[in-house]
């Protein structure tokens, strides 16, 4: 079925004229690999870097004809621009719905070039309608329990009386659908706007709803940015006190896109106690500081292990490293989460400990962390709306 849809997509796109109405998208070789999975289609169109914004109608036309194909339920189309090796031409430009977006080359390089070429013009970052605060949960590396922390933090914020949503921005490894035990496909509300799914009263959106769990996402940066933008701004989130964003590990396109496109209330850094994890956590923290996003604090995950048999405490990964790092860097230390079988088992079962054992000690730890996060946000509420970040390579 996927191959049949792919053939139909190519046939329809062969009738869509290319830039300047010359040729068509297929014969001109402007299409990326076409991704098809269970009624969902995604691909990108390569266009001249300096004309990406002007050719947005071309993207819309391609998306429209693909959506009309029988068997296609959703289509995600992005414009991308590539620079030939050795070329001294202009840097590629990503499509974006806001003026705060910069280029599809590494944003620090693009921003630095602009600052040298012209006086800096403050550009306000538009928020997401109905959403009061957006929090990024990030880590410098994978394997530190960031997604589990995101889910329990979101549920703890809800337990503290807030209206909460979760955006799974980890395009390559979406975990939120399983953590919230949510399956299905987002339904369109009107036009391109989708209705988020819901788990335990929390509104959830993830790329995991668009593709099968074992399907790899082999996407370049522009496709990732386009998908992130759609999941953030083309979703009917409704009225939320907090939108918690589960960021992919590291310091790449997704983090910079979030920092540049929306006024983040702040970032929460998740780390384990050992030195190697803290080195990467420090990089993530410094990146958010560099792009003018407040760091709300550090969570030390897998902080210690309590033996269920003997009751003894074991500091498997060391202990106190994140607390010491927070003090050293001058940011709040939000709390310690133990390495515990209950947290792991409930997360794997799609019933995070905050909802499966709301009166237990682990749920209390997450609720305390949630309270500290909101207290930190309150410190910034009186600040003027932040402008697009100034990013400089030294």
Q: DSSP string covering 241-254, please?
A: EEEEEEPPSSSSHH
144 is in an annotated binding site: yes
Which segment of 81-85, 108-112, 223-227, 349-353 scores lowest on mean pLDDT? 108-112
* pLDDT attached to residue 175: 85
Same domain, 53 and 154: no
Is pLDDT at 389 greater than 70 in this prediction?
A: no
146 is in an annotated binding site: yes
100 found inside a domain:
no
pLDDT in tens, 129-154: 899 999 999 886 667 888 999 999 99
Write down the pTM of the prediction.
Answer: 0.66
Same domain, 40 and 184: no
Burial of 284 (0-12, 13-18, 19+ CB in 10 A): buried
Of residues 32 and 372, more confidence is placed in 372
C-alpha dist (Å) from residue 214 to 38, 42, 174, 218: 13, 17, 10, 12
Mean pLDDT computed over every residue of the chain: 76
284 found inside a domain:
yes
* pLDDT confidence bin for 218, thresholds 50/70/90: low
117 found inside a domain:
no
Decide if 107 contacts 391 (C-beta within 8 A). yes
* pLDDT attached to residue 374: 95
C-alpha dist (Å) from residue 303 to 81, 315, 337: 44, 7, 6
Residue 344 is part of which domain span? 131-380
Q: Which of 37-46, 117-126, 215-224 has the highest mean pLDDT?
A: 37-46
Q: Which of 22-26, 42-46, 169-173 has the highest mean pLDDT?
A: 22-26
Is pLDDT at 246 greater than 80 in this prediction?
A: yes
172 found inside a domain:
yes
139 is in an annotated binding site: no
* pLDDT confidence bin for 91, thresholds 50/70/90: very low
pLDDT in tens, 266-294: 989 888 876 554 666 666 677 787 778 88
Dist CA 324 CA 298 (whole Å): 10
Mean pLDDT of 294-319: 75
Same domain, 142 and 243: yes
142 found inside a domain:
yes
C-alpha dist (Å) from residue 175 to 135, 141, 150, 251, 392: 17, 15, 10, 19, 33
104 found inside a domain:
no
- What is the number of structural domains in the chain? 2
pLDDT in tens, 163-217: 999 998 877 668 888 999 998 888 888 877 889 999 999 999 988 787 665 555 5
Same domain, 77 and 137: no
141 is in an annotated binding site: yes
Phi, psi of 241 (to 5 degrees): -75, -40
166: domain CATH number is 3.40.50.300
* pLDDT attached to residue 148: 93
Decide if 297 contacts 376 (C-beta within 8 A). yes
């Amino acid at each position: 079925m996927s191959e049949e849809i792919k053939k139909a997509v190519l046939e329809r796109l062969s009738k869509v004229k290319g830039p300047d109405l010359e040729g068509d998208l297929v014969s001109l070789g402007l299409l990326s690999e076409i991704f098809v999975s269970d009624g969902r289609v995604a691909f990108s169109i390569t266009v001249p870097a300096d004309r990406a914004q002007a050719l947005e109608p071309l993207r819309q036309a391609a998306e429209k004809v693909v959506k009309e194909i029988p068997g296609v339920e959703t289509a995600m189309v992005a414009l991308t621009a590539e620079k030939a090796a050795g070329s001294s031409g202009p840097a590629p430009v990503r499509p974006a719905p806001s003026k705060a977006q910069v280029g599809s080359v590494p944003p620090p390089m693009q921003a630095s070039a602009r600052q040298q070429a012209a006086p800096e013009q403050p550009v306000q970052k538009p928020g997401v309608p109905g959403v009061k605060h957006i929090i990024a949960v990030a880590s410098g590396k994978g394997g530190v329990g960031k997604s589990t922390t995101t889910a329990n933090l979101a549920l703890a914020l809800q337990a503290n009386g807030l209206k909460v949503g979760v955006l799974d921005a980890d395009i390559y490894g979406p975990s939120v659908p399983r953590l919230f035990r949510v399956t299905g496909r987002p339904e369109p509300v009107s036009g391109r706007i989708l209705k988020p799914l819901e788990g335990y009263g929390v509104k959830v959106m993830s790329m995991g709803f668009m593709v099968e769990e074992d399907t790899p996402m082999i996407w370049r940066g522009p496709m990732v940015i386009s998908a992130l933008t759609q999941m953030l701004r083309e979703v009917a989130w409704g009225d939320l006190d907090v939108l918690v964003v589960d960021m992919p590990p590291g310091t790449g396109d997704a983090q910079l896109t979030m920092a540049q496109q929306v006024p983040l209330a702040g970032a929460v850094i998740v780390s384990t106690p050992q030195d190697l994890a803290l080195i990467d956590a420090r990089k993530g923290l410094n990146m958010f500081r560099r792009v003018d996003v407040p760091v709300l604090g550090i969570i030390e995950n897998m902080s210690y292990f309590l033996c269920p048999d003997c009751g003894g405490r074991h500091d498997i990964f060391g202990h106190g490293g994140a607390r010491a790092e927070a003090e050293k860097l001058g940011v709040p230390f939000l709390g310690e989460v133990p390495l515990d079988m209950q947290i792991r088992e409930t997360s794997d079962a799609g019933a995070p400990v905050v909802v499966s054992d709301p009166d237990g000690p682990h749920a209390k730890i997450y609720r305390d962390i949630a309270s500290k996060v909101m207290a930190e946000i309150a410190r910034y509420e009186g600040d003027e709306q932040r402008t697009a970040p100034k990013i400089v390579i030294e």
